[in-house]
């Protein structure tokens, strides 16, 4: 019993090799779903943080100075517990640090050097999270800026290639409660110390007795519009998750002219997802089985969204 849904981020490739990793992650999480919602979320995101194909953990895009500064967050709806790390460096699994913060301290968010110090105290080793492909892309992007040109690299994936991945997120329902988690390297060439929507409660992530929601896109837009919380409110008002995600993206575009992807699940196990960018791969596992060819709602070009 139960639902796990995982997204691979905006403009992420839908090639078989990317979908297979998302499927592996979702199935691994489902194995732990009845044991612990938080443990299941961590297991899902650990698989993705290990892969250089997604913008999280080892595959994180680099900031302006060529450093991987990562954000991760986790929230359990029934207990109303939330924890996040922001601008953390040299840790392979930021989501695991966020879980440790939730379970072992009364802190809610740790950032920068403080987050790194906590990770070391908890036994997380120093790990270089800079993938070769991302470092090469960063060098080319900086060279373009030096020539006065706009970098050709994708803001979300960090690469020119269409075959790459972005921020990841997961929502789940175990038949009794809802939970959500997300992990990201942010956006390419971001200002050092910049924190996106992933660790901002109500902006890029939310979980309650009503729904679990994760978002991806330009973080500032999601933070300023409290989009994840808005999705929860729309579902609480009686709307299906698909409708709530679509309404939230229309609202986001009207207010900020921003792109995004949203994934949500409600307390009846209904999954909803929508996007208004190039691609947004989502994998859903229901009762231990992969849902074949699950497709999020594509709003690009609809309702004034471009």
**How remote is the C-alpha of 210 from its chain's centroid?**
20
Catalytic pick among 167, 198, 216, 227: 167
Q: Is 167 a catalytic residue?
A: yes
What is residue 196's three-state secondary structure? Answer: coil
CB atoms under 10 Å from CB of 292, counted, come to: 6
Question: Residues near 62 by Cβ (< 8 Å), separated by ≥ 6?
Answer: 68, 130, 134, 135, 137, 138, 158, 185, 188, 189
Element (H, E) at 254: helix 241-256
What single DSSP character describes residue 15? S
CA dihedral 15, 41, 232, 255 (to 10 degrees): -50
Q: For the stretch 208-235, what's the b/e string if a residue is b when 16 or more beta carbons lie within 10 angstroms of its beta carbon?
A: bebbbbbbbbbbbbbbebbbbbbbbbbb
Distance separating alpha carbons of residues 299 and 306, to the nearest angstrom: 8
Question: Residues near 298 by Cβ (< 8 Å), separated by ≥ 6?
Answer: 274, 275, 276, 280
Phi, psi for 134 (deg, rounded to 5)? -70, -35
Give me 175's structure tokens.
């038949």
Give the residue from 125, 163, 155, 169 showing the smallest Cα distance to 61: 155
* Catalytic (active-site) positions: 167
């Amino acid at each position: 019993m139960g639902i796990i849904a995982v997204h691979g981020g905006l403009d992420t490739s839908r090639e078989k090799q990317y979908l297979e990793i998302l499927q592996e992650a979702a199935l691994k999480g489902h194995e732990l779903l009845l044991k612990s919602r938080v443990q299941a979320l961590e297991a899902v995101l650990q698989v993705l943080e290990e892969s250089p194909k997604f913008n999280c953990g080892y595959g994180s895009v680099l900031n302006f100075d060529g450093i991987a500064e990562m954000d991760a967050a986790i929230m359990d709806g029934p207990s109303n517990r939330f924890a996040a790390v922001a601008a953390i460096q040299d840790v392979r699994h930021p989501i695991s640090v966020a879980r440790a913060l939730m379970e072992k301290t009364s802190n809610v968010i740790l950032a920068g050097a403080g987050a790194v110090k906590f990770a070391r105290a908890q036994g997380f080793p120093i790990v270089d999270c800079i993938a070769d492909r991302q470092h090469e892309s960063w060098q080319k992007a900086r060279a373009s800026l030096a020539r006065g040109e706009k970098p050709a690299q994708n803001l979300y994936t960090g690469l020119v290639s269409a075959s790459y991945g972005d921020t990841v997120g997961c929502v789940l329902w175990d038949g009794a409660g809802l939970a959500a988690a997300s992990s990201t390297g942010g956006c390419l060439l971001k200002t050092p110390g910049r924190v996106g929507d992933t660790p901002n409660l109500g902006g890029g992530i939310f979980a309650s007795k009503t729904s679990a929601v994760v978002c991806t896109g330009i973080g500032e837009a999601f933070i300023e519009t409290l989009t994840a919380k808005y999705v929860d409110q729309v579902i609480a008002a009686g709307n299906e998750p698909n409708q709530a995600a679509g309404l939230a993206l229309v609202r986001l575009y009207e207010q900020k002219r921003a792109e995004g992807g949203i994934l949500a699940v409600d307390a009846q196990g209904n999954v909803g997802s929508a996007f208004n960018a190039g691609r947004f791969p989502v994998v859903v596992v229901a009762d231990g089985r992969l849902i074949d060819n699950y497709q999020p709602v594509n709003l690009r070009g609809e309702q004034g969204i471009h």
